[in-house]
A and B are shown apart, each in its own frame.
Chain A
Amino acid sequence: MGVGHIKVGTASSRFAAWIASGFILVAIFLPFVAGRSLLQDLFFIFSMLVLTQWWNLLAGYGGLVSVGQQAFVGIGAYAMFGSVILGNVDPVVSILIAGFAAFVLSVPTAFLAFRLHGAYFAIGTWVIAEVMRLGVAQWKAVGGGTGTSLPRSATRDMWFVDGISVLFDVKTSAARDILAYWLSLFLMVTTIAVIYWFLRTRRGLALFAVRDNSQAAQSVGINDFISKLIVYFMAAFGTGLAGGLIYLQKARISPDSAFSVLDWTAYVIFIVVIGGIGTLEGPIVGVLVFFLLQSLLSDFGSWYLMTLGVIGIAVMLFAPKGLWGLFTERTGMELFPTRRQLVIPEKET
């Protein structure tokens, strides 16, 4: 008998890696040919993809169904505004501060939320986000309950903007869009890479084991508490970064929008569910479907949201693995394989 070895990659994943590299290369050079509105659309898609990947890691892999991720979007956004307005920090640097602020705040939050399980966790995280929204509304220096705008001087003198403006021969406002686009592309690619890397480590494997059969996992001594904690902190950091970036581009903030459960959690949940929860490909498919639906139907306002709710219910009831799950069932293709396969060489005769 030959000794087997473990492999994770598949033919389709190697193909996907080439496609992804090609996509990233095209995306980097896209601002040279693309117009402003396309870049803005892609910024929206990339930043939503960051949020959805983190929520998917929490709920789909970690079993932590949070309804309070808007807390970290909001805290990130406000940390960014606070450091720009009060500390005169460059906005590009302040995005990093946004991530760290969300991470720091996620420590006491985790202390509270990890005492809760299942539905209690969901409601608990929601209440914590509400507490933060109401708390930030008391912070008069950044506009209190009505919110404020980024000072023009800060956004005009932002790092790289002058260089981009000269390089592309465009106005500074267009240069800001290009910068935001690049940052969102970078954040999106890093997010997916980090999550994929984490899922293939032992800590990630612990999550799979507990998710697939928690009793069997416990019987071989797997403690997934640390894995879940790491996932929670990473998600807070990543969500905070995205929050800072999104509000750098919006340049206007208020507690109700930055801590909006609809924008930063409800949409995110629908995207993940429709695309396919518990896979890395699902959120990508979901965010594209979501963007299409939004471009086609957003003029219909409440009809659009009603449709989205009904689609979410239908997918959860009839195709709980989402669109990507249906596709994988038919084709067996995985672009980001995380399953370990045992390969045993055939016996020599």
Chain B
Amino acid sequence: MIWLETLIQGILLGGLYALFAAGLSLVFGIMRLVNLAHGDLIVVGAYMILIIVSILGINPFVATFIAAPGMFALGWLLQRFVLNRTLGDDILPPLLVTFGLSIALQNALLEGFSADSQRINAGALETASIPVGSLSIGIMPLLTFATAILVIFGLNQIIFRTALGRAFRATSDDPITASLMGIRPSSVFAIVTGLAMLVAIIAALYLGMRASFDPSIGPVRLIYAFEAVIIGGLGSLWGTLLGGIIIGVAQTFGAAINPEWQILAGHLAFLAVLLLRPRGLLPRAVD
């Protein structure tokens, strides 16, 4: 029975990792851009929510809605004026620019908010749980997982059902032909990153409500997120969810055996998948 509980916890934890990873997967899938600052941008989002909650004294979910346009704008500007300049065949410029951004953001947050741990207060929701048979499942993990499914479903609807999504796919496949059809790749990419930041602020909400955070935790979240994206396969958002679940399950089982092995077990699961299926489990696009 304890193993079943561990398994369920792991799957639900995977939902959180999928939320971290969904924005990354979107950006990576459409423009092959690796954003090494994604984890730090999620942490920026968490501080934005924290500020709004503490100033206005409102519910964190409402605060997320208020922060969302700002986050979209941040992503749009970042892509439009910085990251678009780095796109091309060479993978060095985007890697190095976002790496620089990661270091700069971490230290800007450190300067602004100190190294103290913070937490977004979610009230009674933090400890609430529902009994299922003889198990009890936390509302918060359940809500996280449901949100992850909703976010990925929504993103897929946008990508495959709307004119905007068609522009995403066309630009991803062939930016030159797409621009002949009246699409401006640079504007499309800016919207993609804006959208990724909307997902990031949702991830930030759950990051902040579920555990304490400080300016330095971005890179570790980035690694989990990236593992989920790579396990899932390039360009597949459902694959990213599957990847998140695999990391989550490996971590909770590792922790059940020995608490020190939690992170290690997740990494080893990632390396094992990489060894067997280097292109991921559900690859949609060719690298």
Interface, chain A (partner B; CB < 8 A): 59, 65, 67, 112, 115-120, 122-124, 126-128, 130-131, 134-135, 137-138, 261-262, 266, 269-270, 273, 277, 302-303, 305-306, 308-313, 316-317, 320
- Quick one: which of A137, A266, A277, A320 contacts B99, CB cutoff 8 A? A266
User: B58 an interface residue at 8 Å Cβ cutoff?
Assistant: no
Q: Which segment of B88-96, B134-142, B194-202 sits at the interface?
A: B88-96
Q: Check A115 against B101 for contact (C-beta < 8 Å).
A: no
Distance in angstroms between the alpha carbons of A4 and B223 in the assembled complex: 53
Which of A120, A269, A273 makes the CB contact (< 8 A) with B230?
A120
Task: Tell whether, in the assembled complex, residue A306 and residue B274 are in contact, meaning their CB atoms are under 8 Å apart.
Answer: no
A-B contact pairs, 11 of them (CB 8 A): A116-B278, A118-B91, A122-B36, A123-B34, A123-B230, A124-B230, A124-B274, A303-B107, A305-B107, A308-B100, A313-B82
Question: Which residue of A65, A112, A117, A262 contacts B92 across the interface (Cβ within 8 Å)?
Answer: A65
Which one of B32, B82, B92, B264 has the greatest number of beta carbons of chain A within 10 Å? Answer: B92
Are the CB atoms of A302 and B111 closer together than 8 Å? yes
- Among A67, A116, A126, A316, contact of B100 (Cβ-Cβ < 8 Å): A316
By CB atoms of chain B within 10 A, which of A115, A119, A131, A134 has the most? A119
Asked if residues A112 and B271 are in contact (CB atoms below 8 Å), the reply is yes
**Are B34 and A119 interface neighbours, CB within 8 A?**
yes
Given A112-B275, A127-B270, A277-B92: A313 and B100 within 8 A (CB)? yes
Taking a contact as CB atoms under 8 Å apart, the answer to whether A309 and B287 are in contact is no
Contact A312 B95 (CB under 8 A): no
Contact residue among B95, B104, B260, B275 (Cβ-Cβ distance under 8 Å from A306)? B104
Does B108 sit at the interface, judged by CB under 8 A? yes
Residues of B within 8 Å of A138, CB to CB, are 260
- CB neighbours (8 Å) of A128 from chain B are 271
Q: Are B93 and A127 in contact (CB under 8 A)?
A: no
Given known pairs A269-B96, A313-B100, the reply for A302 and B110 (CB within 8 Å) is: yes
Choose among B99, B104, B227, B264 the residue with the greatest number of A CB atoms under 10 Å from its CB.
B99
Residue of A124, A137, A302 ringed by the most chain B CB atoms within 10 A? A302
Q: Which 5 A-B pairs have the closest CB atoms?
A: A309-B104, A312-B100, A309-B103, A119-B34, A302-B107
**Known contacts A120-B230, A134-B263, A261-B219, A127 near B92 by CB under 8 Å:** no
The answer to whether A310 and B110 touch across the interface, beta carbons within 8 angstroms, is no
Cβ A131 vs Cβ B264 within 8 A? yes
Chain B residues near A117 (CB, 8 Å)? 287
Give min CB distance, B37 to chain A, whole Å: 10
CB pair A266 B103 closer than 8 Å: yes
Which residue of B82, B91, B223 is within 8 Å of A127 (Cβ)? B223
What chain B residues lie within 8 Å of A273 (beta carbons)?
A: 96
- Given A119-B34, A306-B111, the answer on whether A313 and B101 have CB atoms closer than 8 Å is yes
Known A-B contacts A59-B92, A126-B223; A309 and B100 likewise in contact (beta carbons under 8 Å): yes
Is the pair B97, A317 in contact by a Cβ cutoff of 8 Å? yes
Query: What residue in chain A is nearest B227 (Cβ atoms)?
Result: A127
Set B91, B105, B267: member contacting A65, Cβ < 8 A: B91
**A317/B85 in contact, CB under 8 A:** yes
User: Is the beta-carbon distance between A119 and B82 smaller than 8 angstroms?
Assistant: no
With the chains together, A312 CA to B267 CA distance in Å? Answer: 29
| Min CB gap A25→B, angstroms | 36
Q: Once the chains bind, are B82 and A306 in contact (CB under 8 Å)?
A: no
Which residues in B have their C-beta under 8 angstroms from that of A112? Answer: 271, 274-275
Known contacts A134-B263, A135-B264; is A317 also within 8 Å of B86 by CB?
yes
Of B34, B99, B110, B223, which one neighbours A269 at CB under 8 angstroms?
A: B99
* Beta-carbon nearest neighbor of A116 in chain B: B278
Q: Are B99 and A312 in contact (CB under 8 A)?
A: yes
Chain B nearest Cβ from A279, distance in angstroms: 14
Which chain B residues border A303 with CB–CB below 8 Å? 107, 111
Q: Does B171 contact A (CB under 8 A)?
A: no
A52, B144: Cα distance in complex, Å: 42
